[in-house]
Chain A
Amino acid sequence: MAQSRGHNMRKGQALVEVMVGLGIAAALMPAIVTSFFAVRGGTAQEQVRMQAVARNRESREVLRALKEDDWQNVSTSGTYHLTASGGVWTLSSGSENGLDGQFTRQIVISDGYRDLSGNLALTGTVDPSVKHITSTVSWTTPIASSVVVDYYLMRLENLAYSQTTVADFTPGLLTATQIVNSSGGEVILANNNYAKWCAPALSSATIDLPDGPPVAVAATAYANTSIPNDTFVATAPSTGTSVKMAYVTVTANTDPPVPTLRGIFTHDGSKYASPYSVPSGTGLDNNFKTNAIKYYTSSGGKTYALIATNLPDKEVIAVLVNDNNPSNDNDSSGEFADPVNHIYKYWTYFNTRIYQGNNASTPNQDQAPFDYGGISLAVFENRGYVASSGFLYTFDLSNIDSKSTSSGLDMIGCRIELDGYDCQPGSGTDRKYSAGQTGTTWSNTTSPAHNDCSDGGNIELYADNDIYPVKSGTSTYIFVAVGAGTNPEFNIANVTTVPTSGTSPKITSSSCGTISSGNSSWKRISSFDFNSKSGTEEAANSVYAKSDGSRAYISSNGGIDGNGDGQPDSYQLYILNTSNKSSPSFLSGTPASGATSGYYYGTGANRQLYPRRSLTVLNGLRAVLVGKDAIVDANNAEEYQVTNISTEATPTYCGGLNFDSGFNDLTSVSEADGDNFVYLVANTSDLELKIIQGGPDVGQYVSEGNFVSAPFTASSTSTFNRFTATVTSPGQTSISMQLGIGPQVNGSCAHTNYTFIGPDPADYTGSYFTPTAGIISGAIPLTTLSNYANPNSCFKYKTIMSTLDNTVTPSLLDLTVNYAP
């Protein structure tokens, strides 16, 4: 049994083995068979896949071509497909189904990013010059699958735009810069012509003032140079002149400056627009001359024009030109009596008196002999000073806001006697209106003889032609250019201590303020009497004080050839040493024989000007004289003459302007940025206000300027990548650049508003590209800030130049910007 069982088992094992083998085969066969079918099916799939790859290649090829045509074709993220229309490939949004009857094809465009290292990444900072493309072709049979190509498109184009020639630079905007062609076209700082005082030129900016010819001008600049300068012009040379004053603002920091007539003052009813009319009950008619003009701004911020008139009871009138309240500029409750025709209000007046409080209610108690009234006027600190008929009167401006047409300005102290007297035309004699005299009591001053009122010309019609206040230490002085008559040509009055009822002499004393008996801190303390170079009597007509009071600049009589040597007798400019206020003197020379230094007079074309002459001094370096051409000879003298007084012992002519109508007055303002502007009133009846534009008065070039290029318009929105500029920057000079990129406005880059920025991400607008070894270059910021936006299609650059040495200038030779459209 065991054996037979063993045989049985062996037989059984063979069958079992077969069965096991079959079982294994049965298990493996499906896999093998399946793999056969898979391979067979894979072939079909491969066939489709190859076709899909070809279609995907098409996407890529066309997309590349579209990108290279215009980056804008691919710059907007989204899902697209290709369409061909009219033989032109374009991208349409959405995916494309049923391609070749089986494919779905789409192109997904998304932003490209860069990591902190600048490498392409899936997150980070968007690089506007890179797009991430995912191009897919998918199908569903025989087996659903797809071919995906993932790649980046970049702006590979690197186009360049250059400016290097004169023609390239010319369309740009030059601000105190110029284009020259000494090495192929470059931009440099402008020549310093504006205020190169020794080569002066009238600005093209001028303005027509009403009536005239204007008599006098005053002007002021503000600490903030963006606020226009104020200019006040006295416009009535005769009593019949309708308009008495014009107020003009001048935007001095534009080139050219822009003068704007803001308003006028007149009491001529015909000038008023209905329903406005001349204010009644003011006691001021329109029958007066304007002799001088100044301005005053009160602590309340109100600005007044102060006008010296020939009126015996209103030697000075104040006109409100700005009540510091913009809200009422269009009605008559503010500074305007007539807001339509911009006629300002008469505010108050000053009537000269012998002393403070002296018969204030009685006009005409003293002076204004021969109808001259207030001749010269000055404002210093909170006081006004007016010279009239040989006396100096001081009045209080600090409370002007509270005054009115019926309550005049308060006199300060007593009048101060000056040298000088008035000419009585037609009388055959000149007469002195003596100190202490009132009413019509006059004394004949026939010695020295002035028997025809024309000695020295008509400047001598006026006793004291000009006054100029100055502070020296704690004392305040008035420098006086004495015109007609008595021997002294120059006075210094001390106006430091106001006399009172307790001083000696008392304020009410007849000797108060007199030359002989006044208190030395309230009287004319010194005079200077000198002769012309030919030994004849001089007369002065304009004075200017150095700011520390140590020098007085005087323009003299001039014009007359008394000794017949063919030249005017006078020097037309004197520099006096006034360090010692008690004894002014020439810098050298004796009064009797004339100055031996510190004077100037011209010959030929720059010879003496005829009165009435005015003077101003610029930064202590240049003295400017204006007047009318003398009538002594046939020479055509310059009516505007500049004298270099930087070496004060030997002032020399250094430049001038020929303006045959002549000038009646001038004034200068020094701006906070160092510019000096000169305002002139011409002896004409139109375009009367002339301007000599400010700037530094040294060197060949202005101190600073900038150049903004004309816009470059890229063919399409482009990424501006880098720029390189060749510049020169000699020692003491600097040059820097900023860039502006923005969109077209109304189809033009000319209308684009550009924001210029520099390289610093922390302070784009405040940073600048600066040169290294004569090259300014850098990567152009890819950012958006205010009106700056890169990429875009409009490009401008701004070059900022400056120099501390006005004999050298930096220069911009060329600029090239690289951009990728």
Chain B
Amino acid sequence: MIKKSGFTLVELLISMGIMTILIAILAQVFGAILLMRTKNEAVSALAQDARFVVQRLSYDMARSSSIASPTVGNASDSLTLVISGVNYTYALQNNSLMLTVGAGNAERINSVGTRLTSLSFSRNDPLGGKASVGLDLTLLATTVETGVQTQSRIIRTTLVTP
């Protein structure tokens, strides 16, 4: 006769133990994935903003007729380009890169996903009538990752008028 019986206690305990372990692992994996997603958002925002800021500056410099500030050999926390006779000033305000066109209101250049902690412009012109602006900025992600250092990006480059 074959005795029909349920799980033995031992079996149950073993199964539950295994399940617990698996669930614990999966929960950690799930948490890590969430964390990763958050981080990726931050990284994306930083990358996107970093590229945009550089491109935007490059674009404006290309169409500028002169650079009012900083002057050659000097550094400044703001950059003033003269485009079609109008001053375009890039400056750091409230952890944001703000562009002020003429007498208008300052407009934010970076996205809400990032904030600027430092901004510096320097002038070292190559010969030949071109202007070059050294750009040194630090972007921080606004998305805060608990328990992990906030994502940041440092951009140091030089842009030269065509």
Instruction: Point out residues on A near B: beta carbons under 8 Å.
Output: 3, 7, 11, 14-15, 18, 21-22, 25, 29, 32, 36, 39-40, 43, 46-47, 50-51, 54-55, 57-58, 61-62, 64-66, 68-70, 73, 84, 86-90, 100
B160 touching A69, Cβ below 8 Å: no
- Known contacts being A3-B2, A64-B160, is A50 close to B127, with CB within 8 Å? no
B156 touching A87, Cβ below 8 Å: no
B18 touching A88, Cβ below 8 Å: no
A54 touching B132, Cβ below 8 Å: no
How far is it, in angstroms, between the C-alpha of A73 and the C-alpha of B29 when the chains are bound? 56
B29 touching A69, Cβ below 8 Å: no
A61 touching B159, Cβ below 8 Å: yes
B124 touching A11, Cβ below 8 Å: no
B160 touching A65, Cβ below 8 Å: yes
Interface residue? B13 (CB, 8 A):
no
B125 touching A100, Cβ below 8 Å: no
How far is it, in angstroms, between the C-alpha of A88 and the C-alpha of B32 when the chains are bound? 49
How far is it, in angstroms, between the C-alpha of A29 and the C-alpha of B26 when the chains are bound? 11
With contacts A36-B36, A70-B128, A88-B126 known, what are 6 further pairs, Cβ within 8 A? A57-B54, A66-B128, A69-B128, A87-B72, A88-B127, A89-B132
Question: Nearest CB to that of B71 among chain A residues?
Answer: A87
How far is it, in angstroms, between the C-alpha of A301 and the C-alpha of B151 when the chains are bound? 100
Choice from A36, A61, A70 contacting B158 with Cβ under 8 Å: A61
- Chain B residues lying within 8 Å of A3, measured Cβ to Cβ, are 2
Choice from B29, B36, B153, B156 contacting A47 with Cβ under 8 Å: B153
A474 to chain B, nearest CB (A): 82
A66 touching B126, Cβ below 8 Å: yes
- Chain B residues lying within 8 Å of A65, measured Cβ to Cβ, are 126, 128, 130, 132, 160-161
Interface residue? B14 (CB, 8 A):
yes
Choice from B14, B43, B73, B128 contacting A18 with Cβ under 8 Å: B14
How far is it, in angstroms, between the C-alpha of A69 and the C-alpha of B126 when the chains are bound? 8
A317 to chain B, nearest CB (A): 77
- Known contacts being A18-B18, A54-B54, A61-B160, is A89 close to B36, with CB within 8 Å? no
Choice from B14, B43, B72, B127 contacting A46 with Cβ under 8 Å: B43
Q: What would be 21 A-B contacts, judged by CB atoms less than 8 Å apart?
A: A3-B2, A11-B11, A18-B14, A18-B18, A21-B18, A43-B43, A47-B151, A47-B152, A50-B47, A51-B154, A51-B156, A55-B156, A58-B134, A62-B132, A65-B126, A66-B128, A84-B124, A84-B134, A88-B125, A89-B158, A100-B156
Interface residue? B155 (CB, 8 A):
yes
B83 to chain A, nearest CB (A): 19
A653 to chain B, nearest CB (A): 69
Choice from B124, B128, B151, B156 contacting A43 with Cβ under 8 Å: B151
A36 touching B154, Cβ below 8 Å: no
- Chain A residues lying within 8 Å of B11, measured Cβ to Cβ, are 11, 14
A51 touching B54, Cβ below 8 Å: no
How far is it, in angstroms, between the C-alpha of A84 and the C-alpha of B122 when the chains are bound? 11
How far is it, in angstroms, between the C-alpha of A630 and the C-alpha of B18 when the chains are bound? 146
Please report which residues of chain B, range 136-157, place their CB below 8 angstroms from some CB of chain A when the two chains form the complex.
151-157
B157 touching A58, Cβ below 8 Å: yes
Interface residue? B39 (CB, 8 A):
yes
Question: Nearest CB to that of B32 among chain A residues?
Answer: A36
How far is it, in angstroms, between the C-alpha of A57 and the C-alpha of B157 when the chains are bound? 7
How far is it, in angstroms, between the C-alpha of A498 and the C-alpha of B101 when the chains are bound? 115
- Chain B residues lying within 8 Å of A21, measured Cβ to Cβ, are 18
How far is it, in angstroms, between the C-alpha of A29 and the C-alpha of B152 when the chains are bound? 30
